[in-house]
Amino acid sequence: MSLVAQIVDTGDVLMTIGASFAAGLSVALVSSLGIWGGAKYVDYSQDGRGVAAALSLAVGILGLLATLGIIIFGIVLMVSK
Amino acid sequence: MDIHLILVIVVVSALAFDYTNGFHDTANVVATSISTGAASPKAAIAFAAILNFVGAFISIEVAATIASDVVDQSAISGPGALNVVFAGLVGAITWNLITWYFGLPSSSSHALIGGIVGAALADSGTQAIETAGLVGKVLIPAVVAPILAFIVAALAIGLAYRIVQNLRPGPVSRGYRLGQIASGGLLALAHGTNDAQKTMGVITLALIADGVLPVGSDPPFWVIFSAATAIALGTYSGGWRIIKTTGMRIIKMDPAQGFSSQGAGAAVIMASTHFGFPLSTTHVINGGVMGSGVAKRVSAVRWGVAGNIVTAWVFTLPAAAIIGAATFGLTELMGGASIGPIVISVVAVGLIVIAFVKRARRTEVVDVQTEAA
């Protein structure tokens, strides 16, 4: 075990695993919420439900902005080393 | 004078390898966007080529790993040092061409590392190998990364389906197709970042071996620029033929699966690049595609293809190492100066031309038979 620990930088490997999970899942989550918001906005608008449509649109826009934010943050983080 | 001629041959060979790497990997980067209809082939390939070029400038961590953590720079410096790098490149290019000819999925990155390790072993024995770097920065990440991409993609698509499951499919598909422009772009950027750096690392190793750069140097700007250009040109020019084949073989994916697999692949490659792990981007992308497929239906994944990838993974490092070692032995038999690399380069170019012609004829015959059927 100690030999493996000497050869493998477990800290970097674990950080890679953690960062991959965090980035991959957070992008999937916020972009899906963005798509949900956009699709619901169309449906609610057609039904004449103004408040629900506005709230859905806000979720959609926030999801889109969060997706872009995570992508930019990821690139900046990679460049920063 | 002799040494500098070999340096030129090594740099040209490395850039040729980089070009074939882009040529070979275009399909991996853009196939999901094309198969889901997120982008036209022309736009997807041009976009990928540009982002491959840009990506090459983002980081030099992987180049540093290739240049300093795989073989001991001081152990291979000396008159035969450039022949080690040359033989390693020949090992990688030869193995790539053999696997391309027989249609086997293989990793250009593993072939490159295997070739260099084999040639260094033939030159200086085990003392030339940085065992800790090779195991810790190459072999362990090589095993972990595709599995990681598989799991992240499977969880991501599960999450996405859960959120959008009750919505009308039309807007959802449109949304994920739009998202694929971003995820595909990110994947191309990540691919350029990780793969172009391997060539930068090899050229830097050659420059150090030749005494042009001191031990421990980072790649100079002209090396970064030329590697970026070679991979981008390879991506743009190679894509057309390979896309045609891959587009027909790829699993039918919906846009959400394409988005999830690209996002997972990009996340794993970018995180690994940050820590300087030289990955097989091919294996990571395939891992992501399989993960997003298995989350929908286990039988959606072609497990035979997965088995071929594992088999090729097992054989690539040792096979390229054997070819690299044998090539180094040949250069030594020819006197160890530039005559060996020149003769081997001429023979290699001849063999490559013959292989391309034979392969093109075989493809034409298959096309005619397919049309007749």
Count of C-beta atoms within a 10 Å radius of residue B101: 13
Give the mean pLDDT of B309-320: 84
The amino acid at residue B158 is: G
Higher per-residue pLDDT: B107 or B54: B54
Residue B373 has pLDDT above 50, yes or no: no
Residue A3 sits at the chain B interface (C-beta within 8 Å): no
Q: Angle of helix A50-80 relative to helix A10-47, nearest 10 degrees?
A: 160
Q: How confident is the model at residue A3 (pLDDT cuts 50, 70, 90)?
A: low
Q: Determine the Cα–Cα distance for residues B89 and B308; give it in Å rounded to an integer.
A: 24
pLDDT for the residue B96: 81
pLDDT score at B371: 47
Alpha-carbon distance of A78 to A80, in angstroms, equals 6
Whether the per-residue pLDDT at B246 is higher than 50: the answer is: yes
Question: Is pLDDT at A57 greater than 90 in this prediction?
Answer: yes
- Is the pLDDT assigned to residue B32 strictly greater than 70? yes
- Tell me what pLDDT residue B297 has: 75
| Cα–Cα distance for residue pair A25/A27, rounded to 1 Å | 5
Average pLDDT, chain B: 83
Distances (CA, A) of B318 to B140, B313, B315, B322: 16, 10, 6, 6
A59 close contact with B: CB closer than 8 A: no
Give the pLDDT score at B239. 55
Residues of chain A contacting B149 with CB distance shorter than 8 Å? 20
Measured CA distances, A77 to A31, B272, B357 (Å): 20, 12, 45
| Residues A30 and A70 sit within 8 Å (Cβ to Cβ) | yes
| CA gap B226, B360 in Å, rounded | 29
Using DSSP's 3-state secondary structure scheme, residue B124 falls into helix
Q: What is the rounded distance in angstroms from the CA atom of residue B234 to the CA atom of residue B238?
A: 5
In whole angstroms, what is the distance from residue B210 CA to residue B83 CA? 10
Among A1-10, B10-19, B65-74, B95-104, the minimum mean pLDDT is found in A1-10
Q: Which of A33-42, B155-164, B259-268, B338-347 is least confident?
A: B338-347
Average pLDDT over residues A7-35: 90
Residue A29 lies in a domain: yes
Question: Who wins on pLDDT, B372 or A73?
Answer: A73
Contact of B273 with B59, CB cutoff 8 Å: yes
Residue B318 in this model has a pLDDT that exceeds 90: yes
In this structure, of A1-15, B75-89, B167-181, the range with the lowest mean pLDDT score is A1-15
* Residue A46: how many other CB atoms lie within 10 Å: 9
Dihedral (C-alpha) B191, B239, B318, B349: value to the nearest 10 degrees? Answer: -130
**Between residues B34 and A40, the one the model is more confident about:** A40
Residues contacting B298, CB < 8 A, separation 6+ = none
pLDDT-derived band at B228 (thresholds 50, 70, 90) equals: very high
Neighboring chain A residues of B144 at a CB cutoff of 8 Å: 13, 16-17
- The Cβ of residue B225 has, within 10 Å, a number of other Cβ atoms equal to 15
Q: What pLDDT shows up at residue B285?
A: 85
Residue B156 CA to residue B260 CA, distance in Å, equals 6
User: Of B9, B16, B7, B11, which Cα lies nearest the Cα of B233?
Assistant: B16
- Cα separation, B232 vs B239, in Å, equals 11
pLDDT at A63 over 90: yes
- Give which of A31, A64, A65, A67 to mutate to test B binding, by max B Cβ within 10 Å: A31
Q: What is the mean pLDDT of residues B272-287?
A: 86
Alpha-carbon distance A37 to nearest alpha carbon in chain B (angstroms): 10
Domain, as residue range, for B331: 2-372
Residue A74 lies in a domain: yes
Chain B: closest CA distance from residue A14 (Å): 10
Q: How many domains does chain A have?
A: 1
Which residue of chain B is at minimal alpha-carbon distance from A26? Answer: B156
**Alpha carbons B345 and B125: distance in angstroms, whole number:** 25
The structural domain count of chain B equals: 1
Q: In chain A, which among 19-38 make CB contacts under 8 A with chain B?
A: 19-21, 23-25, 27-29, 31-36, 38
Determine, yes or no, domain membership for A8. no
**B6 token code pair:** 């070999």
Q: Is A65 on the interface with B (CB under 8 A)?
A: no
End-to-end CA gap in chain B: 59
Q: Which residues of A touch B148 (CB under 8 A)?
A: 16-17, 20
pLDDT of residue B65: 84
- The pLDDT value recorded for residue B1 is 46
Average pLDDT value for residue range B338-344: 80
Share of chain A above pLDDT 90, in %: 62
Q: pLDDT digit string (tens) for B115-161?
A: 999 999 998 888 888 888 888 888 888 889 999 999 999 999 999 99
| Cβ atoms of residues B265 and B29 within 8 Å | no
Query: What's the mean pLDDT in B32-49?
Result: 84
A76 in any annotated domain = yes
Residue B46's Cβ-count burial label (10 Å; 0-12, 13-18, 19+) is middle
Q: How far apart are CA B96 and CA B373, in angstroms?
A: 32
Tell me the shortest Cα–Cα distance from A22 to chain B, in angstroms. 9
Name the minimum distance, in Å, from the CA of A66 to any CA of chain B.
Answer: 13
B270:A74 CB<8 A: yes
Q: Is residue A10 part of a domain?
A: no
Q: How far is CA B10 from CA B3, B29, B71, B349, in A?
A: 10, 28, 17, 14
Q: Per DSSP, what are the bridge partners of residue B129?
A: B71
**Amino acid present at B278:** P
**CB count in 10 Å sphere of residue B50:** 17
Res B250 pLDDT > 60 = no
Is the predicted pLDDT of residue B109 greater than 70, yes or no?
yes
Distance, in Å, from the CA atom of B284 to the CA atom of B294, rounded to the nearest integer, reads 15
Of B12 and B76, which is predicted with more confidence?
B12
Residue B219 near residue B3, CB atoms below 8 Å: no
Q: Is B38 on the interface with A (CB under 8 A)?
A: no
B281 or A6, greater pLDDT: B281
Q: Of B218, B144, B310, give the one whose Cα is nearest residue A10.
A: B144
pLDDT score of B336? 67
- State how far the Cα of B186 lies from the Cα of B180, in Å rounded to an integer: 9
Chain B: closest CA distance from residue A54 (Å): 17
Q: Which residues of A touch B268 (CB under 8 A)?
A: 16, 20, 24
pTM over 0.90: no
Q: Residue B78 — very low, low, confident or very high, per pLDDT cuts 50/70/90?
A: low
Range of the domain at A59: 23-80
Q: Grade residue A41 by pLDDT with cuts at 50, 70 and 90.
A: very high
| Torsion angle (degrees, nearest 10) of CA B93, B354, B344, B117 | 20
Kindly state the average pLDDT of the residues A6-22. 85
C-alpha A76/C-alpha B10 separation (Å) is 33
